[in-house]
Chains A and B, each alone.
Chain A
């Protein structure tokens, strides 16, 4: 490994280094504020180092990682999301009587794992990144270990994630047995040459899809989602919904873009998964009365939308996925930010009744939440609208009309439950709700406002972001 390689890896090194520093810091001096400050400084430094690494891109660092504009873009996205989540976590933990500092170490490690996923071009780094991410998540989900729900959610996540990782490994082994390479690009060459026999390969790919599908929580691998979303602390839920899923989707895109491992059977599988996710996610969300569960099912549906763009294939599809993920990150982090801001030290603001007449008690928070929900619903003036437009455009360009129409219909079903929360927030105050007392620190408030501003900005004038996104294609 040369010096240039080290510079290219600088964002990853800083992320990993910060987690070590934080660990040492806690051993020396346990202070919530200090650890947060260290974490934020590390994240900011890692974000800044993207510009140092950028001139070297694209660059292969060993055969495991590729640092190109695509991975740098996703690094930035993950780091930015993590920055906001860390701030929300500060408020959230400050209200609670637990060891607070370790969560930041876990956050940093998990983010490193996610970043490795987005940069990996090899099965080994794929698996390592995934496990780094997952193992930290087990602890994060059950972080409030004195309560029943988080522990239950943590165990559920642990068992299912371990099982799915086993599937993934077996799938990788089968693909390796057939193709003799673990590099994505190498697989592509063999595919194009047409030497591969089908049966083993399809089995292997199917198992890989199982592993990936679990992380993305698409139907039928979604069963853990509502429980884990509900049980995990709100900032951790935000992390699972964005960083974990986003990194996995980035990898999925790179894998299939590079390896070209698409035959009609695989595409059919993804089509079925996409349709099932869109419909099941939106329909099941209708039955929920818990806001975190609603957001869980809605995220299943959103992964289905993303798969539509993924299936559209081509350059437009990559752009659509990337833009949609940016919008989805901003929206989801913001939505869970509001949820965690409203939570009190006794419980989370997760029941829909907690949002009753929120607008008349906390107009700013209710307004922010409305913007986030409208963006999830894809209403104009928000980035969610441009994202949905992008996906429908990608679908229309590839003439996958059936998928596009199902997307449209299911997103209208989705409107019901988004509007239900909105209507609840603006109802006239009749009974006492939650959230009159919870305190939001000014940095967290600033982040929420910044997210809303970004959302509206990208919704009205997305061109600057589009210009960046057009330059990031996976190599």
Chain B
């Protein structure tokens, strides 16, 4: 029940926020804030309560679960469950949820109620994706994220919002439908093998498949997740969507929506189709390295603050893809840490871009110079997160990327070398961003307000969390460990079986 409440709180609060905004705009904001905070606290409580167990019973199955019959005609269950992996991503979801409500406090002045409805429903969809264990339910939640996100970009976005929102919608919808075909193919293949119609993740694991069938189904899933992640040839929606979205939209996109792609790869693609994924791994890893370098290079060439940060996401998520397909302990841990650290540091950079845009009404780096002299605190925060993004030791991103590189080295040393060059590229774009925006003489004589209390309240915890992950990532790894062991076990036994 506690899992269901995580979703329903968001859904119901969304409706209340919409209704409340008719009378009082501030009420809508407070309702949204309370709902996200409540979910965060519930998540935290679950985590703390089960933290001891995680190390005591490293192979215990799900921390919490809920299983209802939903559409018996197809053997569809309403099955939610949580393990260490989903728990960590949920914590990230609610944390960034609070951030995105707070960051919209001043920015969004039109149709406030409807905005918060969409924001909370996107978060509910993401929560559903991280919790669903029934493939139909997963697809349902996966699609459900799209519509509110579309509205967030299309209604409150910047100049080219129509183009960006439609592009985003079409890309994800097409890839999602290919995944639906793959899901159904798996469903009927499972029925063919066992005579049982089910979408249940646990039962579908280890469905005997011919290698061609497994290959095509794996590709169907992979495409959907690759578009979200994004992997290079299908990434083109991302810079547009991230740039045109309102700040909260960018934070949710970069911080959370991209992670659903990585989560899908971890949870579904590799465990469901172990040998096909094994065959596919070299291709995926090469794509990952291309993404790392290409994203970094393009980021270097951007003059729009948000677009620059958007391209850095392509680069960082390349590390995640690399880690997942290297599929060993170090690489997986690295991928997870990168996912969370990237969510925080990139989310924060988008928050800063939003704060600057609110003050200066531009995102062009050509128009910004020497901001340090007028807004030292904001500039300091920007420097901090830029350093996080370039992988400075002591901050979260470093731990993640370092572990990924270590893990990948065991699989392929040449790819590791190229990926390491990506870290170098990150130094260039991150420092260039800081230099262009904040250093130098204040040519345009900007006189801006520095961080106020609310804005400090947003950025300070993000700084703290990034430091925490960078200096003491053990709790995260410990929480992730049982889930990771089990994933590896499933894949290991399946691959061994087929040899």
Contact = CB atoms under 8 A, between A and B. Distances in A.
Interface of A: 374, 379-381, 385, 389, 392-393, 396-397, 401, 404-405, 408-409, 411-412, 415-416, 419-420, 423, 426, 461-463, 466-467, 470
Main secondary structure of the interface of B (DSSP, over half): helix
A404 B144 contact: no
B166 A423 contact: yes
Contact of B140 (A380, A412, A470): A380
Interface string B188-210: 10000000000000000000000
Given A392-B180, A408-B178, A461-B70, 17 more contacts: A374-B147, A379-B143, A379-B147, A380-B143, A385-B140, A396-B184, A397-B188, A401-B181, A408-B177, A408-B180, A412-B174, A415-B173, A423-B154, A423-B162, A423-B166, A463-B71, A463-B72
Contacts of A404: 181
B174 A466 contact: no
B213 to A, nearest CB: 11
15 contacts: A389-B136, A389-B180, A393-B187, A401-B181, A404-B181, A408-B178, A412-B173, A415-B170, A419-B169, A423-B162, A426-B154, A463-B70, A463-B72, A463-B73, A470-B73
B144 A380 contact: yes
Nearest to B141: A380
B166 A409 contact: no
B269 interface: no
A426 B136 CA distance: 30
Given A408-B177, A411-B177, A416-B170, A392 B144 contact: no
B130 interface: no
Contacts of A405: 181
B184 A392 contact: yes
Contacts of B73: 463, 466-467, 470
Contacts of B173: 412, 415
A409 B174 contact: yes
B119 to A, nearest CB: 16
Interface string B429-468: 0000000000000000000000000000000000000000
Interface string B129-141: 0000000100010
Contacts of A374: 147
- Sorted nearest first, the 9 A-B pairs with minimum C-beta distance are A396-B184, A408-B177, A412-B174, A380-B143, A466-B73, A380-B140, A380-B144, A463-B71, A393-B184
A385 B143 contact: yes
Contacts of B184: 392-393, 396
B170 A412 contact: yes
B260 interface: no
A466 to B, nearest CB: 5
Interface residues of B, number: 30
B146 A419 contact: no
Contact of A412 (B154, B177, B187): B177
A280 B174 CA distance: 18
Contact of A408 (B136, B181, B185): B181
B334 to A, nearest CB: 34
B165 A423 contact: yes
Nearest to A420: B166
B185 A396 contact: yes
B44 interface: no
A130 B181 CA distance: 37
B74 A419 contact: no
Nearest to A389: B180
Interface string B103-117: 000000000000000
A428 to B, nearest CB: 8
A384 to B, nearest CB: 12
B185 A393 contact: no
A395 to B, nearest CB: 8
A396 B71 contact: no
Contacts of B162: 423
B75 to A, nearest CB: 11
A391 B185 CA distance: 13
Contacts of B74: 393
B286 interface: no
B263 interface: no
Contacts of B140: 380, 385
**Looking at A379, A385, A409, A420, which has the most chain B CB atoms within 10 Å of its CB?**
A379
B329 to A, nearest CB: 36
A397 B184 CA distance: 8
Contact of A426 (B146, B151, B166, B181): B151
A396 B181 contact: yes
Nearest to B155: A426
Nearest to B185: A396
A9 to B, nearest CB: 32
A381 B177 contact: no
A132 to B, nearest CB: 35
Nearest to A374: B147
A470 B143 CA distance: 27
A416 B178 CA distance: 18
A454 B150 CA distance: 24
B442 to A, nearest CB: 35
Nearest to A459: B140
A415 B136 CA distance: 21
B123 to A, nearest CB: 16
Nearest to A470: B73
A415 B150 CA distance: 12
Contacts of B154: 423, 426
Contacts of B150: 419
A373 to B, nearest CB: 11
Interface in B13-41: none
B185 to A, nearest CB: 6
Contacts of A419: 150, 166, 169
A111 to B, nearest CB: 30
Contacts of A392: 180-181, 184
Contact of B146 (A379, A409, A466): A379
B188 A381 contact: no
B147 A408 contact: no
A426 B165 CA distance: 13
A466 B144 CA distance: 22
Contacts of B169: 415, 419
B174 A408 contact: yes
